[in-house]
Amino acid sequence: MSCCFAHLQTIHRLDDLVQPSMNSENKEKFDFSTVGAPVSEPHPVSEPHPLKEIPALEGSVAWEAPSNIALIKYWGKYGQQMPANPSISFSLKACVSQTKVHFKPQAGGGVQFSLSGQQNLGFQTRIEKFLNSVELRYPWLKEYALDIESTNSFPHSSGIASSASGFAALALCVEHIDQYVRLTAEQGRAAHHPEPTAYRADPRFLNRASHLARLGSGSACRSVYGGWVQWGMHPATPESRNEYAIAHQSAIHPVFTDYRDTILLIHKGVKQTGSTAGHKLMEGNPYADARYRQANERIPRLLSILASGDLTEFGLLVESEALTLHALMMASEPSFMLMMPNTLAAIREIQAFRKQNGVPVHYTLDAGANLHLLYPAQHETEVMSLINNSLMHYCENQAYICDSVGTGPRPINPFL
Ligand code: PMV
């Protein structure tokens, strides 16, 4: 059986679930410059952001956020989820999480979490820990009970990490509630709430959500934007920061704006070593400094490729990044290996196909055995025939996911 999950409707419509429980007749235009954090920087998530009085509010917010795939990889961190080197990714279109948060007054707070309609205590504990760690920044977390419902468009245990999309969607919900609570507290009455769609275009709102998402899972901070995204400071991008990611809105060649990513699900099982342990092992890796230098040198190189549309250069760079990531794993002590025999066999076929047909199809890997096939939209027919004729056989249950560069998160309809 082959399947292209992108065509399956696995997401439950959260719109049906969300009930506005505060009055919502007030959708007037809103001046974002009066909201929350200072104009230039998001309010640091690690610092207190007190509220004089926490209003007793009840309501729901819901956001969809994409997964992302890094082309220049983040591998190695320090401090509170700070990246040891800058990374560049694009956000996916089909692989998304949808998360709804219902909040209501409850002294001491409390979190309930369900994934695809089933309570999930493992994730609940992780989310509780994450939210406890940011209580100073979001003091209302101690006064509200949160009921969090999440679904993923991609199958559970497919080897596609849901932590990036999941934490990004949750961070967007938390920021959204924060805006509402602070506005209400300032005005002394239920706030006139801005159209949530306007948040998508408010860089400060997104920066703050990115900042928060980073604390849940590093690469999640890139998932609060669409298109091409950078996380980590680099002089080539003066606005870049280690605390949060930024979107690259200009200087992207049209070929890269709807680039295809077909994900071959080579191995869906539990990984031998997770990314938290993997990042940690970089601390003793003898190649770490050289790697961090290399990643920094590669940022301007990728940015200039993204502007020029040079696909040959693109392929050379992204394939080397993928194998470097896995070489670092193999050079760790203890060493570990996440590629599987079928990963290598499929890579060989991709190389042979490219040589024979001149089609610019390249691969990248994240921290797992699955291969991401990257190619321009105009070559979809040839690449799909390569997949159906041969690559599919290297996939567990012959499964793959058809994806491409996406436009980023969106609020899911009704609100507070
Ligand atoms: O965000 P984490 O801790 O799951 O780490 C992600 C690491 C890679 O996927 C391998 C690379 C990246 O930049 O996304």
Of ligand 1's listed atoms, the one at least distance from the Cα of 77 is 3
Does a cis peptide bond (omega within 30 degrees of 0) precede residue 376? no
Using one digit for the tens of pLDDT, what is the confidence trace for 185-225? Answer: 988 877 666 667 778 778 889 999 999 999 999 999 999 99
- Rounded mean pLDDT of 6-30? 27
User: Residues near 313 by Cβ (< 8 Å), separated by ≥ 6?
Assistant: 301, 305
Residue 33: per-residue pLDDT: 27
Nearest Cα residue to 187 out of 19, 22, 48, 413: 22
Residue 49: per-residue pLDDT: 85
Residue 99: per-residue pLDDT: 97
The string of DSSP codes covering 303-330 is HHHHHHT-HHHHHHHHHHHHHHHHHHHH
Nearest Cα residue to 148 out of 164, 178, 171, 180: 171
The three-state secondary structure class of 340 is coil
Residue 153: per-residue pLDDT: 94
- What spatial distance separates the first Cα and last Cα of the chain, rounded to whole Å? 43
Dihedral angle at the C-alpha atoms of 173, 175, 181, 186, nearest 10 degrees?
-160
Using one digit for the tens of pLDDT, what is the confidence trace for 24-83? Answer: 332 222 222 222 222 344 455 667 788 888 999 999 999 999 999 999 999 999 999 999
CA distance 52 to 346: 59
- Rounded mean pLDDT of 320-331? 98
Residue 201: per-residue pLDDT: 78
**Pocket perturbation via mutation, ligand 1, pick of 72, 73, 282 by most ligand atoms within 8 A of CB:** 73
Using one digit for the tens of pLDDT, what is the confidence trace for 223-254? Answer: 999 999 999 999 999 999 999 999 997 789 99
Query: Could you identify the residue written with the tokens 């699900």?
Result: 265
The three-state secondary structure class of 380 is helix
Give me 313's structure tokens. 């250069």
Of ligand 1's listed atoms, the one at least distance from the Cα of 367 is 10
Share of the chain above pLDDT 70, in %: 86
**Pocket perturbation via mutation, ligand 1, pick of 75, 88, 160, 224 by most ligand atoms within 8 A of CB:** 75
Q: Which band of pLDDT confidence, cut at 50, 70 and 90, is reported for residue 5?
A: very low
Residue 414: per-residue pLDDT: 58
CA of 131 to the centre of ligand 1 (A): 21
Alpha-carbon separation of residue 77 from 217, 299, 381 (angstroms):
11, 17, 40
Domain boundaries of the chain, sorted by first residue: 44-247, 256-404
Q: Do domains 44-247 and 256-404 have the same CATH topology?
A: no
Residue 322: per-residue pLDDT: 98
Residue 416: per-residue pLDDT: 53
Q: Note the CATH number of domain 44-247.
A: 3.30.230.10
**Pairing between β-strand 3-4 and β-strand 118-119 as defined by DSSP bridges:** unpaired
Of ligand 1's listed atoms, the one at least distance from the Cα of 161 is 4
Whether the per-residue pLDDT at 1 is higher than 50: the answer is no
Answer whether 0.85 is exceeded by the pTM: yes
State the fold for domain 256-404: Alpha-Beta Plaits (3.30.70)
